[in-house]
Structure 1
Amino acid sequence: MKLLFSESRPDHGHYVYPFAIWAFPEEGETPADLLAAGFLPSGHKLDRYYLCRHTRVVLKQFAATSENRRVLRKWPGVQCEAVSREDFALSEERLAFCLSYTRSRFSGGGMSEARLRSLFASPVTTHVLIFRRESDGRELGYVTCYREAGRALFYYYAFYSIEHVGQSLGAFMMTTAAQWCAREGIEYLYLGTCYSESALYKTQFAGFEFFNGMRWSNSRDELKALLGRGGGDAGDGHLLEDEGFRARHLPEGLGAAAAASRFRG
């Protein structure tokens, strides 16, 4: 991959001069390669990626926890079907369903119809997971996914019935997707970023990991420490200059962390 560094707002007082890191795939690389390196797609075309604190489940380690089973029991008789993008018809009814969800749940007024149509028609959506009630065939939710056979599934946008907000339907859909991926022999399920307490629900799965800028980590304590660096003195300076953080979460030292890094200059 090729990298570009896009300058962000500096903090002269603490000698912090940040750059957003963009990756562009080279010949022979696939999206699964960039996902594994800590990048997520920027947009729908899979031609540019950004480095971030994103999350995944190592599916060979996945097994339903008591919390997962509790969520699954709340929605008996709801089945998940995976269909290819080409076989998913974005009817006016389905379009209205998804738009209604985004207007209810997304900040800033939801997603435009044009953007939604682009999402369902673009390379980032190779498959759609359809959640359907067996008793009457009613569709309760959809998830747009990028799937690379055997290697990765990126769980991108989820849409579900606003009638059931607050009833764990979203958690049910994600848990069911993890089960399905494990059965399909997929190596990793990617779940997007974790930059707030509200995203900690992604840690509920056995096999959970997050990318910390150097490597994939399975330490929930480390993740919570990162979330706690949101302001004040705790958020000043570079993370790796924080001696307390290094002592707790990098006891092997910076030299060992650098030696293990997959990034090279």
Structure 2
Amino acid sequence: MTAASIRLYQTAEHPCGYWHDRAARDLVLDPRDSQLPSLYAGALAMGFRRSGEHVYRPYCAQCKACISVRIPVARFRPNRSQRRCLRRNQDIDVRVVAAERTTEHFVLYQRYLQSRHRHGGMDEARPSDFDAFLKCAWSPTRFLEMRRGGTLMGVAVTDCLPNALSAVYTYFEPDAAARSLGSFAILKQIEWAQRAGLEHLYLGYWIQDHPKMDYKSSFHPLEKLERGRWSNLDTSDRT
């Protein structure tokens, strides 16, 4: 993918979704360009991410906290805590289904947002908001469902690329916090990528010491993108 392949747009400044005292700005690939589906995999490797129909990356003048990270799945081995997470959720059945919103999916999504993002602007989501945020007409998206005894416990929205998976968003039963279903979903996405012979699982952006983002550094090895190059996120990065 070259700079001449597709138009880039710069958004106006808007409130940062991670730090309330900061403003943010994004670069967005032209969502109307017919090349976007074929360029998406390359865009991920360049630090972009999908939200709805838009593929973007942060472009903030005064802040470089958001760092793209990915797991090289062939080298991944779960640590002790992650093995406990897998054992704790042995009664969870996992399956990959079409990315279609059902009433069951939406009700759980609402419960999750009302628990995790109360008064944050997302807790009054409508079905159209679900579709606009998680679905995309041109993207090869699947839902990884987590069920216990037939009851939907969580959904990991996952984009499927020729050489990678991208973890777009995960929501889960808020009353089951002890199960660590967010981490469980990543572990199952890693297994999915390994079975498919893929190279990476993209986790979006990592922010050091941010309470909602720093958990990603517990997955080793983890690669970071800085100055256009991927390298291992080393121990000093996680202090």
Instruction: Report the TM range for the smaller structure's normalisation.
Output: 0.7 to 0.9
* 1:204, distance to aligned residue in structure 2 (A): 2.0
Where does 1:133-172 land on structure 2 (aligned, <5 Å)?
133=148, 136-149=149-162, 151-172=163-184
- CA deviation digits over 1:58-86, x for unaligned, max 9? 1121222323212111111212111122x
Instruction: Indicate the RMSD between aligned Cα atoms, in angstroms.
Output: 2.8
Provide runs of 4+ in structure 1 moved above 6 Å: none
Q: 2:41 is matched with which residue: 32, 36, 43? A: 32
In the other structure, the counterpart of 1:59 is 73
Q: Please tell me whether Structure 1 or Structure 2 has the larger radius of gyration of its CA atoms.
A: 1
In the other structure, the counterpart of 1:116 is 130
For residue 77 of structure 1, give the secondary structure of its aligned residue in structure 2: coil
In structure 2, stretches of 5+ residues that fail to align are 15-22, 59-65
- Confirm or deny that 1:130 pairs with 2:145: yes
Alpha-carbon distance in 1 for matches of 2:135, 2:48: 22
- Confirm or deny that 1:49 pairs with 2:56: yes
The sequence identity of aligned pairs, in percent, is: 24
* 1:19, distance to aligned residue in structure 2 (A): 9.4
* 1:4, distance to aligned residue in structure 2 (A): 4.7
Q: By percentage of residues, which structure has more strand? A: 2
Q: By percentage of residues, which structure has more helix? A: 1
Alpha-carbon distance in 2 for matches of 1:121, 1:188: 21
* 1:158, distance to aligned residue in structure 2 (A): 0.8
Q: Is the 8 A contact 2:85 2:179 kept in 1?
A: no
For residue 191 of structure 2, give the secondary structure of its aligned residue in structure 1: helix
Paired amino acid for 1:49: Y
- CA deviation digits over 1:195-250, x for unaligned, max 9? 2422221122233112223322213345347xxxxxxxxxxxxxxxxxxxxxxxxx
- CA deviation digits over 1:126-165, x for unaligned, max 9? 10000112xx22221111111113x121111111111202
TM-score (norm 2): 0.75
Q: Aligned in 2, Cα 1:72/1:24: closer, same or farther, shift over 3 Å? A: same
Q: Is the 8 A contact 2:53 2:132 kept in 1?
A: no
In the other structure, the counterpart of 1:242 is none
Q: Aligned in 2, Cα 1:45/1:165: closer, same or farther, shift over 3 Å? A: same
Q: 2:202 is matched with which residue: 190, 197, 202? A: 190
Q: Aligned in 2, Cα 1:20/1:96: closer, same or farther, shift over 3 Å? A: closer
